[in-house]
């Protein structure tokens, strides 16, 4: 059994040990992982077979691996489709499983990233794709998705929201003075800047920059390509000449440890964001 480090293992640990993005009695808090108990070859093959590029689906794959191959619970279903009498899809339940005590659980899983952007006409916490926001997602999760099992899976005895992510604050601006309902005060954070404001990242001193690729938005990349400030700026100019969607960046110290996680957004964001 291989137990050495891997990106999949680091990402799995991030999924489990990160604080919850939401604050609610049904929210799963940070857990622990015994890295030495994981067969890394098995984990990496599991992820390779699923070959998922989407961040949210990759998150669900890691959680599925933990449930089935680490906790070894009885998985009743994953992505369980809910249909009405006319066979129309009403939604789906992410996971149904029987825990170690035999209790049937309904678990909804989500990983989300939001930027603090005060807006008098709506949410102060839009996503990189500004059509999304924290309030909309949390309302959907707790007031629609989790309660689906009340009607469609009456044997469910426990419900769980497994939500991870980050809230990014604008460099040089004051953080939020108040939080929306259900946003956890212990959430992970980060910073964001517009493309024209890259000089604001000078405050981090002698650092390098790694452009984070999907789906590995979780733990710092093991095989990160570190760019100088000049190289980083040139790559962003090229990027924003094309699709105008935000870029996630890992800011690295000289010893390659991550100093901060950052989003760089187009100068016209949120108006031009569509990714």
Q: Render pLDDT for 144-187 as a digit per residue (tens, 0 to 9).
A: 999 999 988 999 999 999 999 999 999 988 889 899 999 999 99
Q: Look up the pTM and report it.
A: 0.93
What 8-state DSSP symbol labels residue 69? I
**pLDDT at residue 244 greater than cutoff 90:** no
Q: What's the mean per-residue pLDDT of the chain?
A: 93
Report how far Cα 108 is from the mean position of its chain's Cα atoms: 13
User: pLDDT (tens digit, 9 = 90+) per residue, 179-211?
Assistant: 999 999 999 999 999 999 999 999 999 999 999
For 34, 97, 174, 184, the CA distances from 56, given in Å and listed in that order, are 24, 20, 29, 20
> What is the rounded distance in angstroms from the CA atom of residue 260 to the CA atom of residue 252?
7
Q: Which residues pair with 158 in a beta bridge?
A: 105
pLDDT-derived band at 84, boundaries 50, 70, 90: confident
**pLDDT at residue 86 greater than cutoff 90:** no
Residue 89 has what pLDDT? 77
Structural contact between residues 195 and 265, judged by C-beta atoms closer than 8 angstroms: yes
Structural contact between residues 39 and 1, judged by C-beta atoms closer than 8 angstroms: yes
pLDDT-derived band at 275, boundaries 50, 70, 90: low
Residue 271 has what pLDDT? 79
76: buried, middle or exposed (CB in 10 Å: 19+, 13-18, 0-12)?
middle
Report how far Cα 267 is from the mean position of its chain's Cα atoms: 24
Mean per-residue pLDDT, 104-120: 94
CB atoms within 10 A of CB 4: 8
Residue 2 has what pLDDT? 41
**pLDDT at residue 273 greater than cutoff 70:** no
């Amino acid at each position: 059994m291989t137990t050495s480090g891997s990106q999949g293992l680091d990402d799995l640990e991030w999924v489990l040990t990160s604080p919850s993005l939401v604050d609610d009695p049904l929210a799963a808090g940070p857990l622990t992982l015994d890295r030495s108990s994981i067969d890394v070859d098995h984990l990496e093959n599991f992820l390779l077979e699923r070959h998922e590029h989407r961040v949210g689906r990759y998150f669900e794959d890691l959680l599925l691996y933990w449930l089935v191959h680490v906790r070894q619970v009885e998985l009743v279903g994953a992505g369980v489709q809910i249909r009405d009498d006319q066979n129309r899809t009403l939604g789906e339940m992410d996971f149904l499983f029987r825990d170690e005590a035999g209790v049937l659980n309904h678990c909804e899983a989500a990983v989300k990233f939001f930027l603090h952007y005060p807006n008098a006409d709506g949410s102060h916490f839009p996503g990189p794709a500004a059509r999304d926001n924290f309030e909309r997602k949390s309302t959907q999760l707790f007031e629609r998705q989790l309660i689906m099992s009340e009607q469609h899976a009456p044997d469910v005895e426990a419900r769980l929201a497994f939500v991870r992510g980050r809230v990014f604050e604008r460099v040089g601006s004051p953080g939020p003075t108040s939080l929306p309902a259900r946003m956890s005060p212990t959430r992970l954070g980060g910073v964001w800047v517009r493309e024209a404001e890259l000089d604001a990242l000078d405050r981090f001193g002698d650092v390098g920059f790694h452009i984070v690729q999907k789906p590995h938005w979780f733990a710092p990349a093991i095989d990160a390509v570190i760019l100088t400030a000049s190289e980083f700026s040139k790559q962003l100019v090229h990027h924003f000449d094309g699709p105008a969607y935000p870029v996630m960046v890992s800011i690295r110290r000289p010893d390659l440890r991550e100093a901060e996680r950052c989003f760089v957004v187009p100068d016209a964001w949120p108006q031009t964001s569509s990714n």
